[in-house]
Structures are given as structure tokens and as C-alpha cells.
Amino acid sequence: MPEAAELDCLVIDNGSTDSTPAVVEASAAAAPFPMRRAFEARLGSSFARNRAVDEARGDFIFFIDDDAIAEPSWVSEMLDALRSRNLDAACGMVLPRWLAPPPEWLGPSLWVKLAVHVREQIDEAPVEKAETMANYFSANVGFRRQAFERFGRFREDLGVVGGNPISGEDTELFERIIARGGAMGFAPRAIVHHQIPAERMTRHYLRRKSFAYGFGSAIAGGRSHNQIDKLVRNAVRMAAAAMRGDSERAIYHELECANFFGYWRGRLALRK
């Protein structure tokens, strides 16, 4: 951490019924910096993140998920990226930490569906080529506090709540910041490791996640590439990949089809 900076760690307890309060209390007693818990009874990622904005005390607010582990330099690297480039928001590198051996079909082209990066691809590309919406994940993101005042907060009609099929609240906010003239970038040296258990390494889980993202993009509004030509194109490519025995690409195109159906299910929900 820079010498002039002060660190305050805030844990949002989003309606937990387990030992979260005791774990936070024990961690706070051992932490070399102030650490506290805030209880948010409304279940959902957007409610939790917006509560964090209310409770946070600093000029910069950084988020990681409860299943992510930050590297020791994470805070200083994220802060440096925001300050040196005068950014309103920045997303860092999210690397997978597999909690079980991944299946053979779960190759690098599918990692984006798990919201993790392929480090070799990021390292080999110029920084500006990494700065695309596909690389922006809320498991590792930092904001200037003023960004929430200028561009608004996470939409609370979006965001995962238990089994609800709505996702994409982070992407909607990132797109809003950029559309309104904000500065957003990628901070490749601000690294967290996202733990991925075996139950997330299944076609069923990835289909459901892709459907949820499509559903959320419909609720969020705006332009979409989910037209009938996308479905036809991906169905043909899925069949071709399956015929040549390329299960990774076949599943990739299957997930794109799931995204298409999720989007139109969301559009139907809006009409109702």
C-alpha cells in the first residue's frame, strides 16, 4: 500500500445464516487494518454492492467476491491503475483456481463463461486490446467514489438472487459509465484468484449461466446481437464442431444458443 493511503476492509453480510459473523470477527481481530461487517437483509448482488457504497468510507471502493482470493499487491496495483490513468473504474485480472481437475472440454475459449481470464492471452496482448467489455468482471473491480455519484449505482432490478435468472448488473454499469463519457480500463497487475468448484464445471451450470446473462441483457435494455442469424450461425457451428469431435467449441456455440434463448425469454418477461 502507498504510505499515504489508509485501508478499510468492509464485508457485506448478505443475509447469511451461517458462521459469517464469527468468521469476520475473528478475521478482524487478526487483520493489520480495520475490518468490519455490515448486514444487508435484501438478498442479491446489487443490493450487497450498493450497501457497500453506502458503508464505505474511502475515496476509492474496490470489490471482490466472497470466493475470490486477492494477491498481496492487489490493492496497491488497483489504486495505481485508477490514479495513474485517471480512470473512473477499472477491472483487474481474474485467474481461475480450480478446486477439482477441470474436464477436458473446459478449454480456454470457455473460461469467459466462468468470468475468468486466460493469463497468457492477456499478457501477450497490448493493454488496449485487453480493454474490452468481455474482460470486465465484477469479481475484481475498483471505482472512484465519485463514479457512483456521476454515473449511478448497480441496478437493483438486475443481479443474481438465489435461483433467479437475471444477471449482468455489472456489465450494465460498466456500459453506462463508458456511454456517459467515463473512463474505464483494465488493470492486469491487480490480480485475484477465483475459486471454481466442481459443480461449476458442468455443461448444465454453464448453460444456466449463459441463459441468465441473456435474460439479464434483455431486462437491462439497449442494443443486442441476439437476432435469429446468431441462433442459426451458432447452431450450424455447434453441429460442425461436434462432427469433427471438438467438444470445447461445440459447447461454446451451445452456450451462445442458450444466451439467445435467455435474451428472448427476458424480452417476453418484459412484455408481460
49 forms beta bridges with: none
CB-based contact 175:77 (threshold 8 Å): no
Radius of gyration of the chain (CA): 19
Q: 3-class DSSP state for residue 117? A: coil
pLDDT 10s digits, 156-190: 988 877 666 678 899 999 999 999 999 999 999 99
**All cell numbers assigned to 157:** 432490478
What's the pLDDT score for residue 162?
A: 67
Find the mean pLDDT for residues 40-46.
93
Domains of the chain in sequence order? 9-201 (3.90.550.10), 202-272 (no CATH)
Assign 3-class secondary structure to 53-92: HHHCCCCEEEEECCCEEECCCHHHHHHHHHHHCCCCEEEE
CA distance between the termini of the chain: 51
pLDDT 10s digits, 199-212: 999 999 999 999 99
> How far is Cα 270 from Cα 272, in angstroms, rounded to an integer?
5
* pTM for the structure as a whole: 0.92
Going edge to edge, which strands form the sheet with 60-64?
Answer: 60-64, 140-144, 89-98, 184-196, 68-70
What's the pLDDT score for residue 209?
A: 92
Q: 258 pLDDT exceeds 80?
A: yes
**Residue 107 has what DSSP assignment?**
-
Kindly report the length of the chain.
272
Q: 58 pLDDT exceeds 80?
A: yes
